[in-house]
C-alpha cells in the first residue's frame, strides 16, 4: 500500500497505488434540489450504452429515492454497517477508509451484490422518512422528507474498482481521469463489482466481463457533456473538470462550486475514494442524515445555497446548468450576463442572470374585462 493525499477527508491515507493524478479530472455537480426523478437521464444512458445482451439489468445511471431507495438493494447501508463508526474531527476524517479497513487478504472492504439485489431499481420510490404529527406545519428541514439521488460512476481519484482488480484491467485515463474497464483484458473476476462502494461496476453474464459508466468519453473528447447531463429535464447537472483545492480556479465552474463556494459535496467522502461527482445537498432534509452522506460541511453548503437568490455569482453559475450540450470549463459574470466557454476557449453560451419577465395585467384596460387563460 502507498500513502496518498485525499483532500476530501483532509489527510493522507493508504491506497493500493501511488498518487497519480490525471492532467485533468472529469467532474460533475448535481443539484439534487432540482431533481424530479423523471429518469430521463437513466433512459438516456440506457439507450445509448447498455442495450446489449447481458446488459439488461445494468443502469450505469440511476436515480433512487433516499432514504429508502437503493440500486442495488442497500448498497450504501450495507457498507456503512461493515465500515463501522465514521467520525470526523472537523474537516479531517478520523475513521477508516475502505482501503484502510480491508480485511486480511483483501485489497478493499467491499461486498458483492446478488442477482436479486439488482431486481428492484425503483424500490423505495417517494417513500418518506419521518412522520407528520398533528399540528405540524411546513418548515425547513421538513418533518417528513425524501429526496432523489441521481448516481453515475464517480470516476474517483482513488477508484476502489481499479485497486481491486488483480489484473490491472481497470485504468484511469491520464487525459481526463475517466475510469474504464479494458474490455480486452478483463476476465470477469468481479473483484471490481465487490470493491466499488457505489456499486457502479456491473458484470455482464453473457460476455463474462465487467462493464461500467464510461463518462461518455467519446463526447468528452469532442467537448460535449455526457448523455445523462444533456438529457436532464430538470437541468440539475453540469460537467467539467476539477482541480485540487490548492489549484482551484474561480473561473472554472466546478472549482467555483466545490472549492470556492463549497456548495457541492462528494458522496460518502469517508469511503476514501475521492469521488468526482459533487452534490448540492437537498435543503429540506435533516442535516444529520446528510452529514453521513456528504460529510461535515453539509450545513454550510445548504446555507450558501439558500442565499443564492441574493448572490449573483452563485445564482448566475447555477443558471448555466443544462443550458448547452457543450462542455463548459470557464465562466464569467459581467453585470446581468453570464458567459460560458468550452475547452477550446470559445464562448459557447451567454445567458441573462434573470430571465426577462413580462407581466400581463389581469384586467384589460381597454375593454375593462378580466383576462382569462382559457378560451
- CA–CA dist 265, 276 (Å, integer): 9
Q: Which three cell numbers stand for residue 41?
A: 437521464
Smallest distance from other proteins to CB 90, Å = 33
Q: Which is nearer to other proteins, 64 or 191 (CB)?
A: 191
For residue 3, the cross-strand partners are 14
Cβ-Cβ contacts under 8 Å for 63 (sequence gap 6 or more): 35, 37, 39, 41, 42, 148, 149, 150, 151
Q: Does 183 bind other proteins (CB under 8 A)?
A: yes
Q: Does 203 bind other proteins (CB under 8 A)?
A: yes
Q: Does 351 bind other proteins (CB under 8 A)?
A: no
CB under 8 A: which stretch of 78-86, 126-134, 161-169, 346-354 binds other proteins? 161-169
Smallest distance from other proteins to CB 86, Å = 24
Q: Does 186 bind other proteins (CB under 8 A)?
A: yes
Smallest distance from other proteins to CB 233, Å = 22
- CA–CA dist 336, 328 (Å, integer): 19
Q: Does 191 bind other proteins (CB under 8 A)?
A: yes
Smallest distance from other proteins to CB 193, Å = 6
Q: Does 42 bind other proteins (CB under 8 A)?
A: no
Q: Which is nearer to other proteins, 51 or 344 (CB)?
A: 51
The footprint of other proteins on this chain (CB under 8 A) covers a number of residues equal to: 39
Q: Which is nearer to other proteins, 199 or 261 (CB)?
A: 199
Contact (CB, 8 A) for 108 and 195: yes
Smallest distance from other proteins to CB 176, Å = 19
Q: Which is nearer to other proteins, 61 or 252 (CB)?
A: 61
Q: Does 167 bind other proteins (CB under 8 A)?
A: yes
Total length of the chain: 375
* From 20, 77, 87, 115, residue interacting with other proteins (rule: CB under 8 A): 115
**3-state SS of 2-19?**
EEEEECCCCEEEEECCCC
The HSE-up count of residue 340 (CA atoms within 13 Å, CB side) is 27
Three-class secondary structure of residue 138 per DSSP: coil
Q: Does 2 bind other proteins (CB under 8 A)?
A: no
Long-range Cβ pairs for the range 242-251 (8 Å, 24+):
242/25, 242/27, 242/276, 242/278, 243/25, 244/7, 244/21, 245/7, 251/330, 251/331, 251/332
* From 185, 303, 354, 371, residue interacting with other proteins (rule: CB under 8 A): 185
Among 54, 59, 16, 62, smallest CA distance to 170 is for 16
Contact (CB, 8 A) for 281 and 32: yes
Binding mask 93-112 for other proteins (x = CB under 8 A): -----------xxxx----x
Q: Does 18 bind other proteins (CB under 8 A)?
A: no
Smallest distance from other proteins to CB 101, Å = 14
Interacting residues with other proteins (CB under 8 A): 51-56, 104-107, 112-115, 117-118, 164, 166-168, 183-191, 193, 202-209, 211
Amino acid at each position: 500500500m502507498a500513502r496518498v493525499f485525499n483532500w476530501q477527508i483532509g489527510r493522507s491515507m493508504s491506497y493500493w497505488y501511488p498518487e497519480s493524478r490525471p492532467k485533468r479530472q472529469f467532474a460533475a455537480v448535481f443539484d439534487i434540489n432540482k431533481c424530479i426523478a423523471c429518469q430521463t437521464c437513466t433512459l438516456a444512458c440506457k439507450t445509448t450504452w447498455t442495450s446489449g445482451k447481458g446488459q439488461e439489468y445494468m443502469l450505469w445511471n440511476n436515480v433512487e429515492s433516499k432514504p429508502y431507495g437503493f440500486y442495488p438493494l442497500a448498497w450504501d447501508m450495507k457498507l456503512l454497517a461493515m465500515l463501522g463508526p465514521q467520525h470526523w474531527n472537523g474537516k479531517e476524517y478520523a475513521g477508516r477508509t475502505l482501503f484502510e479497513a480491508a480485511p486480511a487478504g483483501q485489497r478493499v472492504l467491499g461486498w458483492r451484490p446478488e442477482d436479486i439485489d439488482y431486481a428492484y431499481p425503483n424500490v423505495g420510490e417517494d417513500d418518506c422518512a419521518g412522520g407528520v404529527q398533528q399540528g405540524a406545519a411546513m418548515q425547513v428541514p421538513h418533518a417528513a422528507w425524501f429526496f432523489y439521488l441521481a448516481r453515475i460512476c464517480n470516476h474517483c481519484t482513488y477508484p476502489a474498482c481499479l485497486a481491486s482488480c488483480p489484473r490491472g484491467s481497470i485504468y484511469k485515463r491520464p487525459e481526463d481521469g475517466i475510469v474504464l474497464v479494458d474490455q480486452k483484458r478483463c476476465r470477469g473476476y468481479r473483484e471490481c463489482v465487490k470493491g466499488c462502494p457505489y456499486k457502479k461496476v456491473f458484470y455482464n453474464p453473457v460476455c463474462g466481463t465487467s462493464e461500467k459508466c464510461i463518462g461518455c468519453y467519446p463526447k468528452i473528447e469532442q467537448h460535449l457533456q455526457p448523455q445523462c447531463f444533456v438529457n436532464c429535464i430538470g437541468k440539475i447537472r453540469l460537467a467539467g473538470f476539477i482541480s485540487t483545492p490548492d489549484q482551484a480556479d474561480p473561473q472554472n465552474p466546478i472549482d467555483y462550486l466545490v472549492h470556492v463556494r463549497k456548495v457541492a459535496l462528494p458522496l460518502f467522502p469517508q469511503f476514501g475514494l475521492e469521488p468526482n461527482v459533487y452534490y448540492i445537498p437537498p435543503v429540506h432534509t435533516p442535516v444529520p442524515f446528510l452529514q453521513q452522506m456528504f460529510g461535515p460541511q453539509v450545513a454550510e453548503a445548504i446555507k450558501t445555497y439558500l442565499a443564492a437568490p441574493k448572490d449573483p455569482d452563485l445564482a448566475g453559475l447555477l443558471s448555466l446548468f443544462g443550458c448547452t450540450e457543450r462542455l463548459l470549463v470557464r465562466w464569467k459574470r459581467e453585470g446581468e450576463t453570464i458567459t460560458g466557454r468550452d475547452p477550446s476557449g470559445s464562448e459557447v453560451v451567454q445567458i441573462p442572470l434573470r430571465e426577462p419577465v413580462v407581466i400581463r395585467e389581469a384586467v384589460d384596460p381597454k375593454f375593462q374585462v378580466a383576462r382569462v387563460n382559457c378560451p
